[in-house]
Amino acid sequence: MASYFLLFDIDGVLIEPKGYRRAVFDAIVYFLRETGEEKLSINEEIITTFEAAGITSEWDMIPLYILCVIEKSIENNNPKIKINNHEELIFFLKSKKNQPKIEELIRLISDFILYLKDGFSPSDSLYKQFHFDKAGKPFEYLKRFSPWVVDYWIGNSRDLEKSIVLRYFQNLILGSQHYKEITTFDPIIETESYLKKYDLPLINNETHQWIVSISTIENVFMSAITARPSNHPDGQLKTDKTSYFPEAELGLQCLNLGEIPCVGYGAMQYLGITKGMLADSFVKPSPVHALAAILHAGGINLTEALNDAYDYLFNKKKNKVLEFFNKLSFPIDIFIFEDSIIGIQSLSKVHDALKSDGINIKFTAFGISNESNKIMALKKENASIFPTINEAFSTCVEGYFKF
């Protein structure tokens, strides 16, 4: 009897992240107004451009988009002198004549993929690139006229105490009451949780019933693999101002799939702290994320799954992982349902590592999207494309499963 693993991304696959989208829109409107850019916002085409470039976290999208707007505003309006502080920047932006065009912003965002580095968040990658490159690419005009702007917006993108973007966004996502309980910060704005208010399920009743039914079968293992913030691996909230926000668990609970094991950003944050590394060293497209999700799906507790995945991939301590797979019934089929390339890339690296160690596994990627730029990127990762999880899951079960 074969062994089957099913790995589900959450946003764009199981859930239409209306809450995140609305929070991105409202946060960008808020901060652009603060900088004097009242007439600009963001649209879905720009968001999918970010995602096609492998930038899926709103913690990156918001400050990077603001930097793009300021960069193009400076380029298009050619200031005569340097812009030294916020007051001078606001004065310049309010007095400018030439507005950035959407197509200009999209081209700039599309080029970000050239500068992303494994082990670093997109914001950190671009921050390092900006300071490493003499011309300041990809923010050449900010380098010439106001380099402090880049430091301000992405110098501390994952630090809740230092990043006003992160605090404002999480305030919207969690709702003011939950935000204060988790972070101990006073809310910036009084609001209910955007996730609870706006998120919509993408799975229909038939797919939900299939998932619940199949999850009880002995040789089928499932987990969610997501960059959504999540709880500490011991399942508790931590009020130490790190990135333990229960957004992944909340999403699964809203779908009545709360029993599915989940490996989110909180797990990577925990692993980063314990290993003295950045959390983004382990988040997909890192193979640690996919391997930990597979091990956790197979019944290993999350803390052990994280450490075993780390040891296998970084310390060449392979016995526990190889023993896990060798105890399974062969063949081993792994299926991943993703709306962006990074989860597929994570699993592909795991596949190659295991194959080199003699573990005969096969993986199949199902790409979920209706957006042309995302579909193009997913096809490059050899994903089969479906408009929703419902068609993809039906094809998976009917075409691949043998019970």
Q: Average of pLDDT values for 344-363? A: 97
Q: Assess whether pLDDT exceeds 60 at residue 240.
A: no
194 within domain boundaries: no
247 within domain boundaries: yes
Neighbours of 99 (CB within 10 A): 15
Q: Average of pLDDT values for 134-144? A: 95
Residues 151 and 218 in one domain: no
Residues 255 and 154 in one domain: no
Residues 140 and 207 in one domain: no
188 within domain boundaries: no
Q: Average of pLDDT values for 328-338? A: 96
CATH at residue 274:
3.40.50.1000
189 within domain boundaries: no
**What does the pLDDT look like over 265-305, one tens digit per residue?**
999 999 999 999 988 899 999 999 999 999 999 999 999 99
Residues 134 and 280 in one domain: no
196 within domain boundaries: no
Residues 168 and 285 in one domain: no
193 within domain boundaries: no
Q: Average of pLDDT values for 63-82? A: 95
Q: Average of pLDDT values for 114-135? A: 94
Structural domain harbouring 23: 18-183
Q: Average of pLDDT values for 23-44? A: 89
Rounded alpha-carbon distances, angstroms, from residue 300 to 258, 289, 321: 17, 14, 11
Band the pLDDT of 242: cuts 50, 70, 90. low
Q: Assess whether pLDDT exceeds 70 at residue 239.
A: no
Give residue 109's pLDDT. 97
Band the pLDDT of 1: cuts 50, 70, 90. confident
Residues 73 and 7 in one domain: no
Q: Assess whether pLDDT exceeds 80 at residue 402.
A: no
230 within domain boundaries: yes
Q: How many domains does the chain have?
A: 2
Q: Average of pLDDT values for 129-148? A: 95
Give residue 41's pLDDT. 87
Q: Assess whether pLDDT exceeds 60 at residue 184.
A: yes
Residues 179 and 209 in one domain: no
Residues 62 and 37 in one domain: yes
Q: Assess whether pLDDT exceeds 80 at residue 130.
A: yes
Give residue 70's pLDDT. 96
Between 78 and 175, the higher pLDDT residue: 175
192 within domain boundaries: no
**Listing from the earlier edge strand, what are the strands of the sheet with 361-368?**
262-263, 220-225, 3-8, 332-338, 361-368, 384-386
Q: Assess whether pLDDT exceeds 80 at residue 400.
A: yes
Q: What angle do CA 246, 247, 251 make, to 5 degrees?
A: 120
Please report, rounded to a whole number, the percentage of residues in the chain having pLDDT higher than 70. 98
Lowest mean pLDDT among 36-40, 233-237, 256-260, 395-399: 233-237
Residues 8 and 30 in one domain: no
Residues 58 and 75 in one domain: yes
Neighbours of 362 (CB within 10 A): 13
Q: Average of pLDDT values for 352-373? A: 95
Residues 343 and 212 in one domain: yes
Q: CA torsion, points 353, 357, 358, 361, in degrees to nearest 10? A: -20
Q: Assess whether pLDDT exceeds 60 at residue 143.
A: yes
Residues 272 and 339 in one domain: yes
Give residue 340's pLDDT. 93
Lowest mean pLDDT among 33-47, 229-243, 358-372: 229-243
